[in-house]
Amino acid sequence: MGQPAPRNLTAALLVIFVLLAIGIGLAGSLYRDRQHALVRREKLNELAAIADLKVNQIAYWRQERLADGEVIRADRMIARTVEALWADAGADHLAAEIRGWMTSLQQIYDYPDAILFDAHGQIRLAGDRGNALISAYGQQLVAEALQTHQVILSDFHHTEPVHAIHLDLVAPLLASHGGELAAVGAILLRIDPRAFLYPTVQTWPVESATAETLLLRREEDEVVILNELRHRSAAAMALRLPARAPQLVALAAHGPEGPLEGADYRGVRVLGAVRSIPATPWRLVTKVDVAEVEAPLHRLGWLVGLLATALVAIAGAGVIVFGQRQQVLFHRGQRVAELARETALRVERDKAQQYLDIAGVIILALDRQGRITLLNRRGLDLLGYGQSELLGQDWFDACLPARLRKPVRAVFEQLIGGQVEGVEYYENPVLTKRGEERIIAWHNTMLRDDAGQVVGILSSGEDITERRRAEEALHALNLDLERRVRERTAQLEAANRQLKELDRLKSQFVSNVSHELRTPLANLKVYLHLLDEGKPEKRPQYMATLHREADTLHCLIEDLLLLSRMDQGRAQPAFAAVDVNRVATTLVSDRAALFTDRGLALRADLGEGLPAVQADVKMLTQVLTNLMTNAMNYTPAGGAVTVTSGLRLADDSLQTTEDAGRLQWVTLAVSDTGCGISAEEQAHLFERFYRGEAARQMGAPGAGLGLSICHEIVERHGGRITLTSQVGKGSTFTVWLPVGRQRLAPA
């Protein structure tokens, strides 16, 4: 009776091995396909990020060029000098002054050519490096600038017979006549894309053997490549492809933005990302060869194949070992059944007991009432009892934990009564004499008499306590590792987002600072040249302009240094008890004459009996000075500026915690009857370098840093600054300082 089972087991194990081999192969294939998709997705994300970076760089470069043109367009003194030259063509000193100004522009802004046109679009002067050649496209740009009074930045083009690729920046020169602006001429500044634009497009931030960037535009039925290429020389504006061609370049010219895959101009299959350059007809494509992307996947395929082969071999070995173990267990079961029959008949009991005592497993026999009729030496040693202490005892009461006695006894009674089928394998804890619980894996068989009636249960048990504890510890370790991986992944993702935001803020800050510094520095350079080469009688006017620009530059640098010290935590307030009314009274008294010269009324309405606040008196003076100066600059003559103080509780305009809402606040407010601020601009007013529409229209001085400095100082005092304003009626800035509580902003 022992032969059929092993033969059936062998066939079953063979089927299991075949299924395992197939499963391992499928798993390896799925893993390889998943890695292929993951690598492609990561490469497309990288291409998109590089494309976005280069689009931002090109957009900033165009804004800088247009800003250069705006500086020239706003210079009324140069326009008047040019107009005087047109009126007196023989005035050599005027021509020399204008030529010197053009040379300064070329040197300061690094333009290779500069050409001056009169109001009719005729060439009158060229810079010292200037080339007076102008194409029909260039003449069209000059005419448009003269007509619209706007700065124009051209597209890529050639000027024959000089075949070099360039762009043109055209700025009109505007003079005031009877309160209206008229174009008295225009200046064209030629831009060499090889100086900045081409290197910006061609550089690649990560190592790659095939990656490159294409800048292109569509011209009717063709797509024109605008920049030099990595894989083809002299391609700029020379390589043209049909707009309806199947190549990736043609698809990028008229398709939507986003990822693309196809053949490039070489016929090589590539992955790419497409972006549009704002305010231009240009499209930008970042691409890399598919062969480079998939190179690591070929190595991965070999590794997966080798791993799958190894796993199949391990599975085969495991099946063999499992089959051998099952055969051992099968034969062991036969021996246990034989022992059960011997126990039921009580034949040769002493000999059987000796055999059971040397067995490596627990042997337990229970009668129909659950009493112990047999327990070998292994079982007695595990439980810590002597044989006389347990034989005849109720197994459930003596050897099971109290919580399990009732449910396990109920299952036992159902087995004995034939109400349920016997369970061949079962695990449950047992209670030793010392009170320790041990987990036992039982293999059970029913004991029957000659009539087939159940007379008890015979079980063989193995102590698996240490194995289960190790499995539980391993499971807990896996859970902890998964948690730590999730936490670390979240931290890395947060750090990546923070780094991207810091990089964006850094680029924006550098762009803003370079632009704000460029304008006064350029004017200093120009007027220093005019001081040497211009008319002697205009030197006082030149000196006044130089002093004004130097003051502007000094204030800008001081503001930047203060913000830098605040950001680094080196400009913390020196707190002391301060009377805000005394600070306000001093400032109103000192600036009364300045407001009177501007035709403005300056009033003070200060509350009485205000408590002192903990503040830095110098910083508080700077905040109030900035607010009063802004009110003066944006209030027309005949208006009024009022400084008020008071003691208030928090209201809806001051978002605080419930605890802070019960505090008292000393307030300092500066109100004006000026132009007011729209709700849309109020949301950005405290941002660095932000200047509203009124500042640009009225030509008010400043770089957009004053209110951001006020906001930083008040925050470090544990206070807030709020604004209420109506367009055309005026604005009120209110500083809230807490009474009896000092809050230091974190360094």
Mean pLDDT of each 10-residue bin along the chain, 747 residues long? 56 75 74 79 89 91 91 89 85 86 82 91 77 82 94 87 81 88 92 88 88 88 88 86 74 78 86 90 90 78 69 70 70 68 58 59 89 88 86 90 89 81 79 90 85 85 88 89 89 80 58 56 68 77 70 60 62 84 88 86 90 88 85 88 88 50 83 85 70 56 70 86 87 90 46
With tokens 């405290």, the residue in question is: 686
Q: Rounded to two decimals, what is the model's pTM?
A: 0.44
CB-based contact 446:421 (threshold 8 Å): no
Q: Quick one: pLDDT at residue 443? A: 87
Instruction: Give the CB-side neighbour count of residue 535, counting CA atoms within 13 A.
Output: 12
| Tokens matching residue 490 | 């979240």
Quote the pLDDT of residue 746.
Answer: 42
CA distance 747 to 745: 6
Closest to 672 in 3D by CA, of 631, 710, 702: 631
Q: Residue 615's CB: how many other CB atoms inside 10 A?
A: 29
Half-sphere exposure of 115 (CA within 13 A, CB side): 20
Q: What are phi and psi of 615, to 5 degrees?
A: -155, 165
Angle between helices 465-533 and 4-73 (to 10 degrees): 10
Answer for the pair 649, 643: CB distance below 8 angstroms, yes or no. no
Q: Alpha carbon of 113 to those of 97, 192, 207, 422, 623: distances in Å?
A: 17, 9, 36, 100, 46
Q: What is the pLDDT of residues 6-65, one digit of tens each?
A: 667 677 767 777 777 787 777 767 776 787 788 888 888 988 999 899 899 999 999 999
Q: Which residues contact 357 (CB under 8 A, 6 or more apart)?
A: 376, 377, 378
User: Which amino acid does the sequence have at 273?
Assistant: A
* Residue-level pLDDT at 497: 81
CB contact set of 137 (below 8 Å; sequence gap of 6+): 154, 157
At residue 710, the pLDDT reads: 85
Contact yes or no for 256/34 (Cβ under 8 A): no
User: Coil, strand or helix: which one is 491?
Assistant: helix
Tokens of 217: 């535009």
DSSP-derived 3-state class of residue 225: strand
Residue 380: partners with Cβ closer than 8 Å, 6 or more residues away: 386, 387, 390
Q: What is the pLDDT of residue 588?
A: 87
Q: Which domains does the chain have, with CATH numbers?
A: 197-292 (3.30.450), 349-460 (3.30.450.20), 469-563 (1.10.287.130), 572-738 (3.30.565.10)
Question: Which pLDDT value is given to residue 446?
Answer: 83
The pLDDT score that the predictor gives to residue 180 is: 87
- pLDDT per residue as tens digits for the range 188-211: 999 989 888 889 888 898 888 899
Q: How far out from the chain centre does Cα 92 lie?
A: 59
Please tell me the predicted confidence (pLDDT) of residue 187: 94
Phi then psi for residue 584, to 5 deg, are -65, -45
**Cβ atoms within 10 Å, residue 636:** 12
Assess contact for 649 and 661: CB atoms under 8 A: yes
Residues 6+ apart with CB under 8 A from 110: 195
Q: Hey, CA dihedral for 644, 646, 652, 656, is it positive or negative? A: positive
Backbone angles phi, psi at 39, to 5 degrees: -65, -45
Residue 260, beta-bridge partner list: 272
C-alpha to C-alpha distance for 259 and 301, rounded to whole angstroms: 26
